[in-house]
A and B are shown apart, each in its own frame.
Chain A
Amino acid sequence: MSELGSVTFDALGTTAVVVAAADRTDDARAAVERVLASIDRMCSRFRPDSDLSLLNAAGGAWTAVDPLLVEAVDVALRAARLTDGLVDPTVGETIRRIGYDRDFLEVPATGPASEPWIHAPAWRLIEVRRDPPRVRIPSWTQLDLGATAKALAADRAAEVAADVVGVGVLVSLGGDVAVAGAAPAGGWSVGIADDHRSFGEPGETVAINSGGLATSSTTVRRWSRGGQPVHHIVDPRTGRSASEIWRTVSVCAGSCADANAASTAAIVLGTEAPEWLARQGLPARLVGRDDLVVRVGGWPERAVA
Chain B
Amino acid sequence: MVDMRSSSPDPADRRRVARTRERGMRTVSRVTRIAVAASLAATAVFSAIAAIGFSGRANASTSSSSGTTAAQGSSGQRVALPPTGSGGALTAPEAPPVSQPVPVGPPVTSGGS
A and B pair up: yes
Subset of 29 A-B contacts with CB under 8 Å: A6-B105, A6-B108, A77-B82, A78-B82, A81-B81, A88-B70, A120-B73, A124-B77, A125-B80, A128-B83, A173-B113, A175-B112, A190-B108, A197-B109, A207-B97, A209-B95, A213-B97, A217-B111, A219-B112, A220-B113, A221-B112, A237-B72, A254-B91, A258-B90, A261-B90, A262-B90, A283-B92, A302-B99, A305-B102
The smallest C-beta distance from B58 to any residue of chain A, in angstroms, reads 10
User: Please, how many angstroms separate the alpha-carbon atoms of A221 and B111 in the complex?
Assistant: 12
* Contact partners of A4 in chain B: CB under 8 A: 105-106
| B7 touches A (CB below 8 Å) | no
Let me know if B111 and A198 touch, CB within 8 A: yes
- Considering only residues 54-97 of chain B, those with a C-beta below 8 Å from chain A are 59-61, 64, 68-74, 77-83, 86, 88-97
| A102 touches B (CB below 8 Å) | no
* Contact partners of A236 in chain B: CB under 8 A: 70
* Contact partners of A194 in chain B: CB under 8 A: 111-112
Instruction: Please give the residue numbers on chain A whose beta carbons come within 8 Å of chain B beta carbons, in ascending order.
Output: 4-6, 14-15, 17, 19, 74, 77-78, 81-82, 84-86, 88, 118-121, 123-130, 150, 170, 172-177, 184, 186-200, 203-221, 236-237, 248, 250, 252-255, 258, 261-262, 280-283, 297-305
* Contact partners of A189 in chain B: CB under 8 A: 100, 103-105, 108
Instruction: Please give the residue numbers on chain B whose beta carbons come within 8 Å of chain A beta carbons, in ascending order.
Output: 59-61, 64, 68-74, 77-83, 86, 88-113
Let me know if A215 and B70 touch, CB within 8 A: no
The smallest C-beta distance from B60 to any residue of chain A, in angstroms, reads 6
Let me know if B110 and A300 touch, CB within 8 A: no
The smallest C-beta distance from B44 to any residue of chain A, in angstroms, reads 28
| Known interface pairs A19-B106, A128-B59, A205-B103; A300-B89 also in contact (CB < 8 Å) | no
User: Please, how many angstroms separate the alpha-carbon atoms of A252 and B5 in the complex?
Assistant: 105
Identify which of A84, A186, A187, A304 contacts B70 (C-beta below 8 A).
Answer: A84
* Contact partners of B81 in chain A: CB under 8 A: 77, 81
* Contact partners of B96 in chain A: CB under 8 A: 252, 283, 297-300
Let me know if B113 and A123 touch, CB within 8 A: no
User: Please, how many angstroms separate the alpha-carbon atoms of A198 and B98 in the complex?
Assistant: 20
User: Please, how many angstroms separate the alpha-carbon atoms of A188 and B104 in the complex?
Assistant: 8
* Contact partners of A85 in chain B: CB under 8 A: 68-71
Other A-B pairs, 17, CB within 8 Å; known A84-B70, A127-B78, A196-B112: A6-B107, A19-B105, A78-B86, A125-B78, A126-B80, A127-B61, A172-B108, A196-B110, A200-B107, A207-B100, A208-B97, A236-B70, A254-B94, A258-B91, A280-B92, A282-B90, A303-B99
